[in-house]
Amino acid sequence: MARWKTKEESRERRHLRLRKRVAGSAERPRLAVRRSLSQIYAQIVDDTTGHTLAAVSSLAKDVQARCGEAKTKTDKSRVVGRVLAERAKSAGITRVAFDRGGYIYHGRIKALADGAREGGLDF
């Protein structure tokens, strides 16, 4: 008998599958993305020590100030990616492993990744 899955349960299963292959280290930390209905969150994590090295969300004051002309959530995600890249570069991070969090690489997730690449992160 099949058990019905919600979208969130399916996403969590995809994320667990993905995390088997993607891990952050000191020389190449993991860029983890979390998406909610209205906001997006991203952080750079060193999995060997379990520390967050840089983090940003669309709720941050400096991001909201830069999102003045951004009208859509996708545009805001691109700005979040750029700000995260700036914070990562100031922390001395240039290369990361991208963890899309089980989300499809499309829309806001892709925009955040493109913004981080525009900001100078390599992945």
SS3 26: coil
Domains and CATH numbers, the chain: 7-118 (3.30.420.100)
Mean pLDDT score across all residues of the chain: 92
CA distance to 68, 88, 104, 107, per residue, from 75 (Å)? 10, 20, 17, 10
Residue 106 neighbours by CB under 8 Å, 6+ apart: none
Strand order in the sheet with 97-99: 51-57, 40-46, 30-35, 97-99
**Position of tokens 């000191």?**
26
Per-residue confidence band for 46, with pLDDT thresholds at 50, 70 and 90: very high
Contact call for residues 53 and 60 (beta carbons, < 8 A)? no
Residue 93 has pLDDT above 80, yes or no: yes
Residue 96 above 90 pLDDT?
Answer: yes
